[in-house]
Amino acid sequence: MIKTVVTGLLCAAAALTAGILIGHYGIDKSSDSAPAWVKDVSKDVDENLLEELLSQVDNGRIQENLRELSKTPHMATTVGDEQTVQLMLNRWRDPETGLDRVWREEYMVYLSFPDPDKPNKVTVVNPSNAVLHTVREKEKAYTPDQEDPAVVQPYAAYSPAGQVQGKLVYANYGTVHDYQLLNDTINLKDTIAITKYGGTGRADKAINAARYGIRGVLVYTDPLDMNDGFMSDNNETYPHSWYMPPSGTERGAFSSIYGDPLTPYLAAKENTYRIPEDDITGIPPIPIQPIGYEDAYTLICELGGGPAPMAWQGAFNCTYNVGGPGFRPSSAFNNSDVKLDISNYGKVKNSANVMGVIRGSVEPDRYVIYGNHRDSWVHGAIDPGSGTSVMLELTRVLGKALKQGKWRPRRSIIFASWGAEEFGLIGSSEYTEQYLTKLSERTVAYINVDVAVQVVLTDLSASVGQVKAPGVDSMSVYDKWIRYANRTSPVYGLIPSLGFLTGAGSDYAPFVHYLGITSLDISYTFDRTKTRTRIYPAYHTAYDTFDYSSKFIDPGFYIHQAVGKTAGSVLVRLADSLVLPLNCSDYAETLEGYLHMALQVYEDYLLAQNISMEPIKRAVANFRSAASNLDRVIRSSDLANETPLKVRKINDQLMLLDRAFLNPVGSPSKFRHVIWAPLEVTMGTLPGLRDTSVVQAMSPGTPPTMAQLHLLVSVMSQAIDGAAQMLLDVI
């Protein structure tokens, strides 16, 4: 700019030009010259630099990251886990591609393991106690790494130990409704139930069963739900395809809470108060054990009793009977019991998060957090290796630019490699508990890279528009997204559809549900028109290996690369944008949709009891109007040329919006977000508006009382109105 001016004055005396230069540069101490920081504070995303950074995201490096990360099993707190801790520390501390500051942070958390010296056993025993069948203890190995002695036996973490036996019944998914239906015709007392994965939370299958006096529960993955019906390892399943082999068994945390079970709301440090183990809530009260569908087949196809309802039938080539209870008279198992001998034990162990930071240049006190868990059930090539291998490549690219002095984000970026996620999001939960206020007050957004494409409150279409997807066509990720998962918005027309973070499926849960922090969970998922599997079939089995991923999920690692570029773009935009790329009008649209559904389900019913839904209607209308107003302010302001405190004000309105949705009423809960809280895990509290609108309150089970519904309407109204207040003109 000075150049233009000087050029324009070239015809004048040299002394005049010199004067201009002095006036402009010489009077540094004058309050009228622009301080150096004036330019910095108004800087926006540098699109060219971003493009350059993303172009460095390398599929080959991601592949080698994954090979290294998944070479041995690394269940939380094992030797393998510690190796990955060291790997993360070394990478993030690399002098040429590392971060500003890196550290490990430890928590002493209560985990649950099978006893290697006394493996869990499931058998069929006849009345003389002779064992007629023994369920396979470990999955069949197809490659050498699956023979690693560190492969943990399939088990249900947090299932109690115990020996139980009884006649077998088939209970579908083990939902409240399933057991109710079964109970209409069978006396369930003292039986063992076999259930399928899906339909409800893992722990619920045992918690629901215990109400009927059932003594133990088995759970397996039906090939209909996961394998598109394929069952034979001769040619159909892994290593011939991505489908789960017959002995494949999903492990998992059988817990409906998240965070260390002994220290709710407190970070699990050495001297922290721990509740008695008997006071842990949300875990199975009776033994439960997962088995492969090979063994499930052997058990279910021998069952007596009448046929189970059509909807309960699975992929096996036999009729799924409900059980006499027990096996049919013509079976070799006639009169036999199923026996569970479970030796799981609980232990407080040291689990580490690895944390790394890039300090922000202009707003260091604003954090964008990017995380993924590090622990796996076995080798975890996909869960969590895919996310971690991408994260390591992103930190390499960003770290390099940082160390070369090419880039420093406007806001601080915190990278997190969480520990013990598989046991109930423990590393991330303890972190949010320990730094509750700091994180609540300063976190712009949390980005998680794990399984489903689920995004909350984002206006990041620009982030993915430029990223090319893998494959023969040259469509961008955005184009593919809009083709395979879309919806029609009244405002934008056809747009990519987003899922919502209503559950607690990964480490975003403590951020969105406990702290009310805007969160994203990003992944590139399969084409749902081509398979009905609910997740990739090797999930939580011994087959989730580098071999499986590189052969059947992403040969060449181009999808990993596309996810890396997409997540990297989102991350840098959140960190560098002058105005945060969060759109509150989209939130208004979502609220209006849910309200519309809730009104259809509830309004007449409530009005008949003199409970008005006007307050919640008014609140949503207030929210819409406040959101439109804020959008107008953003559009009509020349924010790059106004006081940085005005941009900060607007960014704080956007950043803190979700905090207003936290429920202040009722017993404490880690599901505090009144829009997204899942119905099934909010016993004693309130379900979020979304679930309220899609789940009939008058459904079987435990319908809420009128008082609870009225309270729900009041809490929702106040929260939505409080959120609207955050968007309104600040005073």
Taking residues 522 to 561 in sequence order and writing x for each that binds a second copy by CB under 8 A, - otherwise, the string is ----------------------------------------
Nearer to a second copy, 18 or 698 (CB): 18
Q: Is 119 helix (H, G, I), strand (E, B) or coil?
A: coil
Which residues 82-121 are close enough to bind a second copy by CB under 8 A? none
Taking residues 449 to 488 in sequence order and writing x for each that binds a second copy by CB under 8 A, - otherwise, the string is ----------------------------------------
Nearest-approach distance from CB 674 to a second copy, in angstroms: 12
Nearest-approach distance from CB 51 to a second copy, in angstroms: 24
355 - beta bridge partners?
103, 416
Taking residues 148 to 177 in sequence order and writing x for each that binds a second copy by CB under 8 A, - otherwise, the string is ------------------------------
Nearest-approach distance from CB 660 to a second copy, in angstroms: 4
Angle, vertex CA 512, rays to CA 80 and CA 88, nearest 5? 25
Nearest-approach distance from CB 675 to a second copy, in angstroms: 14
Q: Which residues of 490-520 are buried (b: 16+ CB within 10 A; e: fewer)?
A: eeeeebbebebbbbbbbbbbbbbbbbbbbbb
Nearer to a second copy, 13 or 608 (CB): 13
Strand order in the sheet with 168-170: 168-170, 192-196, 216-220, 288-290
Binding of a second copy by 704 (CB under 8 A):
no
Nearer to a second copy, 435 or 484 (CB): 435
Binding of a second copy by 494 (CB under 8 A):
no
Binding of a second copy by 683 (CB under 8 A):
no
The rounded distance, in Å, linking the Cα atoms of 564 and 159 is 37
Which residues 648-677 are close enough to bind a second copy by CB under 8 A? 648-649, 652-653, 656, 659-660, 662, 664-668
The rounded distance, in Å, linking the Cα atoms of 152 and 155 is 8
Binding of a second copy by 414 (CB under 8 A):
yes
**Cα of 375 vs its chain's centroid, Å:** 14
Which residues 345-404 are close enough to bind a second copy by CB under 8 A? 357, 359-360, 362-365, 367
Tokens representing 685 are: 């509290």
Nearest-approach distance from CB 123 to a second copy, in angstroms: 41
The rounded distance, in Å, linking the Cα atoms of 504 and 510 is 8
Binding of a second copy by 298 (CB under 8 A):
no
The rounded distance, in Å, linking the Cα atoms of 312 and 195 is 10
Which residues lie below 8 Å from residue 607, measured CB to CB, with a gap of 6+?
Answer: 613
Taking residues 706 to 725 in sequence order and writing x for each that binds a second copy by CB under 8 A, - otherwise, the string is -x--xx-xxx-xx--xxx-x
Q: Can you tell me which of 10, 32, 472, 490 binds a second copy, judged by CB under 8 A? A: 32
Asked if 145 and 545 touch (Cβ cutoff 8 Å), the reply is yes
Nearest-approach distance from CB 504 to a second copy, in angstroms: 18
Nearest-approach distance from CB 697 to a second copy, in angstroms: 15
Answer left, alpha or beta for residue 430, where phi above 0 means left and psi between -120 and 50 means alpha.
alpha
Nearest-approach distance from CB 644 to a second copy, in angstroms: 6
Q: Which residues of 545-571 are buried (b: 16+ CB within 10 A; e: fewer)?
A: bbbbbbebbbeebebbbbbbbbbbbbb
Q: Can you tell me which of 34, 310, 311, 608 binds a second copy, judged by CB under 8 A? A: 34
- Candidates 408, 344, 361; CA nearest to 112 is 344
Binding of a second copy by 731 (CB under 8 A):
yes
**Active-site residue, from 139, 250, 421, 430:** 421
Nearer to a second copy, 42 or 241 (CB): 42
Tokens representing 546 are: 């580098």
Nearer to a second copy, 435 or 500 (CB): 435
Nearer to a second copy, 269 or 483 (CB): 269
Binding of a second copy by 265 (CB under 8 A):
yes
- Candidates 446, 450, 448; CA nearest to 385 is 450
Which residues 605-644 are close enough to bind a second copy by CB under 8 A? 611-612, 614-615, 641-644
Angle, vertex CA 90, rays to CA 86 and CA 92, nearest 5? 120
Tokens representing 113 are: 């393991």
Which residues 433-452 are close enough to bind a second copy by CB under 8 A? 433-438, 440-442
Is 421 marked active-site? yes
For residue 239, cis peptide bond before it (omega within 30 degrees of 0): yes
Nearer to a second copy, 370 or 481 (CB): 370
Q: Can you tell me which of 11, 21, 624, 674 binds a second copy, judged by CB under 8 A? A: 21
289 - beta bridge partners?
218
Binding of a second copy by 30 (CB under 8 A):
yes
Q: What's the burial of 162, exposed, middle or buried (CB within 10 Å: 0-12/13-18/19+)?
A: middle
> Looking at the annotation, which residues are catalytic?
421
